[in-house]
Structure 1
Amino acid sequence: MASVLFWFRNDLRLHDQAALRAACAAGSASLLPVFCLPSAQEMSDWGFVRSGGQRQRALAATLRDLAAQLAALGCPLLLCRGPAATTLPALAAALHITRLVCEDIAAPEEQADVAALRAAGLDVTTVWQSSLLDPATLPWPSSALPASFTTFRQGLERAGVTPPAPLAAPAALPPWPEGVTIPPHLRAELATVAGDADASTALSTDPRSSLADGAGRFDSGETAGLAHLAQYLDKGLPATYKQTRNGLTGLDFSSKWSPWLASGAVSARRIVAALRRHEAQHGASDGSYWLWFELLWRDYFRFLHLQYGSALYRARGLADSAPASHNAQGFRRWCEGRTGEGLVDAAMRELAATGFLSNRLRQVVASYLIYDLGGDWRAGAAWFESQLIDYDVYSNQGNWLYIAGRGTDPRGGRRFNVAKQTADHDKNGAYRRLWRS
């Protein structure tokens, strides 16, 4: 029986791991779990690093938790440095392994990586597992998705489509290949991700952050993510979610599930299964429904990628018209929180300091860049990619297209009046004072 490489991507967990189960079910005698660390110096097309310090630190902490769990099962995680498209074929050749299994990700760069692995001679199996719903159970083929989220949601609910039950974490895994020696130039250490001295597991170390919690509730990784999910439900917070979800700062105004969903440390199916148990015990509410509603938005952006692929990354997106020329100077002021608009600047300072921003503020600052500053929406999406610790390729692209009016939304974009948003959500100036500097 042959050995199998299992490539972790945005699925940094052991529960609900259909791809990992597929790797083990193949009858492999040995398994080598691997993660390719992104370069901290890789630059975006807009002149800044693609993965900033906050993201790097959160990733390192998530990987520490995953590595500890794999080690406990006798199948350690191998960390490699370098692009997967070149690093994994070199690793496979050195170890005489030809088969690789991984999560399927429908974004263009991620698809190109898999194509490169196959072109290099690897036998690659991809498994779709990041969505709440199984694409095969939708009332439409992925190539004919409804052109608006509302129609999508209503169609699902009329058809009674439900998510599959989450898979349990494996109780055992195959061992590493016998006598394996990893070439030193391919191997990496976690300490190199976010700095040798930074071994913090906290999602944010700034005490002002909505993700700061002295009890460790907002640590990175699967273990902490599942604990947070349980605590959120135990506190009965789904009942008030719809009323509080537009808050700007604090612990419990929103679910804060996004960092773990983005890294794959907690699966959407695990969350909904827990939410349904909570509803069975305490009753459903507008708030618990709205949590489901938000997870359906997350799915919609994933399925849009299955339908449109690289078209979602064009300057014009799915629209007919090209965007206006980019205001580079305004974009720099926006990134640095120096636009002169108090709410926008406070939000951009929070983002830089913590890697997190409330959903309401993400919409406000995106609208401001596009419509008030004349910035290219793709530059804003790239800045969010660099900064957000809950960056998700599907949701980030989908939300920026939505605000810019270049996705499927029939209203043609969302422009927010900053003065009104300030009056509605920060009338007393508490948020702006908190993030004055």
Structure 2
Amino acid sequence: MNTVIVWFRNDLRLHDARVLHAALARRPDRLLPVVLHLPTGTVTRWGIPRVGRHRQHWRGAAVRALATQLSALGCPLLECAGSPAEVLPALARAVGADSVWCEAHAAPEEGDEEAALRAAGLDLQVVWQGSLLAPEHLPWPVARLPAHFTAFRQAVEAAGLEPAAALPAPMALPPWPEAARDLHPAAPAPLTEQPANDPRSAFPYAEPAFDGGEPAARAHLAQYLARRLPHTYKATRNALQGIDSSSKFSPWLATGALSPRWIMAELRRFEAKAGANESSYWLWFELLWRDYFRFLHLQHGRRLYRARGLADQPLPPQNADAFAGWCASETGEPLVDAGMRELAATGYLSNRMRQIVASYLIHDLGGDWRAGAAWFEAQLIDYDVYSNHGNWLYIAGRGTDPRGGRRFNPAKQAETYDPDGYYRRQWGSLP
């Protein structure tokens, strides 16, 4: 009997589920879908928890939705606690699985998980599926990825590349292996109390319309297009607040509840019907940035995680007291403190504010960019290892940016994006 395990990582969906489709192509008699909950209580070298309360609840909602969908297909989701190297080999032995399937990752820790499973003797099959474009379809091997995003984008567009079609959700699944019904895996730690919905939030994830699961993700995309918001995206995307100021796709993209290929397919249909403009193009532009950070990981791997990054610069300093004040919204800079309060209260921050607070930590407080990246990892509901790391390197000037980093003057940013002080007052930085 052919039994396979499908391990869901950051692909918590059934639409465009390339790993699942690849596993089903083996025509297994039995299927065991598995998710491993993020460990709670793990602390980074900076003394920061790896997973904060907002991110914990956001991912939990995506897992619940996936579990409901799989149960409706007669193949429930097995939820486990523990490291992949501990849990998955034991599960494979218990159910007699021939192989374990999962999405491929290019970040170091995720890659180490895959290596540990192979070292344990598992037949691990990985499928790359997290990007809009497939690495093998690029105009060059990823080892020769252009050093700057603009050159990457121009080459992609000159080649006329478009993403592969999004795959439909499966209509039926094989049943569980009989032995799985006797399993008693370690249960995940109970969720902390969900934070109350903050009426100031630009992404109120406690509301049903902003639930973390795939159904809400697809409904959000549908209403975003129906209201023709792509036509105004570029004009509003730098706003510091507002639900409709940007697409708000990133939280669902981060957990994989929404596929980038599905977004582009729906956007192309929208443009064919309602017309394309510079703003709708900018959604493609931003998804290409997301791809670029992924391909940089395929190209450079662990080098991106060095203190120096890809640059030949002195090691970054770290002022522990200044960093603590930054985390606690106590820098004394009203715009920065407002942004850090919003992040702590809601788990979300606009792209513009992320750049402002990151720049302030690095360039004004003399902080280590890696500590800032770790704080964002804990706090953000849309934490994505590739984009988070890539953007911090970009601001610090230790990635591939030809301008050697980005420094944002808080006073000028406030004058441009918060001229009446509303945002700062809203988050308690101005009377």
Separation in structure 1 between the aligned mates of residue 50 and residue 182 of structure 2, nearest angstrom? 28
Aligned match of 1:307: 299
Q: Deviations over 1:308-342 (max 9, x none)?
A: 01110010000112333211111110011000000
Q: Per-residue deviation at 1:95?
A: 2.4
Question: Is contact 2:197–2:207 with CA below 8 Å preserved after alignment?
Answer: no
Q: Per-residue deviation at 1:90?
A: 1.9
Aligned match of 1:250: 242
Aligned match of 2:187: 188
Question: Is contact 1:57–1:193 with CA below 8 Å preserved after alignment?
Answer: no
Aligned match of 2:328: 336
Q: Deviations over 1:82-134 (max 9, x none)?
A: 11121111222222324100000110000000000000010000000010001
Question: Is contact 1:401–1:407 with CA below 8 Å preserved after alignment?
Answer: yes
Aligned letter for 1:323? L
After TM superposition, the structure 1 = structure 2 runs for residues 198-209 of structure 1, keeping only pairs within 5 Å, are 198=194, 205-209=197-201
After TM superposition, the structure 1 = structure 2 runs for residues 132-211 of structure 1, keeping only pairs within 5 Å, are 132-184=132-184, 186-188=185-187, 192-195=189-192, 198=194, 205-211=197-203
SS in 2 for 1:194: coil
Residue ranges of structure 2 left out of the alignment (5+ in a row): none
Asked whether 1:29 is paired with 2:21, we answer no
Aligned match of 1:283: 275
Asked whether 1:322 is paired with 2:322, we answer no
* Structure 1 residues 215 and 39: alpha-carbon distance in aligned structure 2, compared to 1, 3 A threshold: closer
Q: State, as a whole percentage, how many aligned pairs show the same letter.
A: 61
Separation in structure 2 between the aligned mates of residue 12 and residue 180 of structure 1, nearest angstrom? 21
Q: Which runs of 4+ in 1 moved over 4 A?
A: none
SS in 2 for 1:217: helix
Aligned letter for 1:194? L
Question: Is contact 1:91–1:182 with CA below 8 Å preserved after alignment?
Answer: no
Separation in structure 2 between the aligned mates of residue 64 and residue 358 of structure 1, nearest angstrom? 26
Separation in structure 2 between the aligned mates of residue 214 and residue 54 of structure 1, nearest angstrom? 10
Aligned match of 1:228: 220
* Structure 1 residues 308 and 214: alpha-carbon distance in aligned structure 2, compared to 1, 3 A threshold: closer
Separation in structure 1 between the aligned mates of residue 207 and residue 147 of structure 2, nearest angstrom? 44
Q: Deviations over 1:153-174 (max 9, x none)?
A: 0000111011001000000111
Question: Is contact 2:99–2:124 with CA below 8 Å preserved after alignment?
Answer: yes
How many residues align structurally?
429
Q: Per-residue deviation at 1:365?
A: 0.4
Question: Is contact 2:142–2:295 with CA below 8 Å preserved after alignment?
Answer: yes
Q: Please identify, of 389-398 and 21-30, the stretch whose mean Cα deviation from structure 2 is larger.
A: 21-30
Q: Per-residue deviation at 1:187?
A: 3.5
Aligned letter for 1:415? R
Aligned match of 1:45: 45
Asked whether 1:130 is paired with 2:130, we answer yes
Aligned letter for 1:205? N
Aligned match of 1:78: 78
Q: Please identify, of 222-231 and 87-96, the stretch whose mean Cα deviation from structure 2 is larger.
A: 87-96
Aligned match of 1:412: 404
Separation in structure 1 between the aligned mates of residue 370 and residue 67 of structure 2, nearest angstrom? 34
Q: Deviations over 1:386-411 (max 9, x none)?
A: 00000001000100000000111111
Aligned match of 2:376: 384
Q: Per-residue deviation at 1:216?
A: 2.5
Question: Is contact 1:381–1:396 with CA below 8 Å preserved after alignment?
Answer: yes
Q: Per-residue deviation at 1:352?
A: 0.5
Separation in structure 1 between the aligned mates of residue 73 and residue 85 of structure 2, nearest angstrom? 28
Aligned match of 1:93: 93
The CA RMSD over aligned residues, in Å, is 1.4
Q: Deviations over 1:408-434 (max 9, x none)?
A: 111110010111001001111100111
Q: TM-score, normalised by structure 2?
A: 0.97
Separation in structure 1 between the aligned mates of residue 144 and residue 85 of structure 2, nearest angstrom? 31
Separation in structure 1 between the aligned mates of residue 329 and residue 56 of structure 2, nearest angstrom? 22
SS in 2 for 1:167: coil
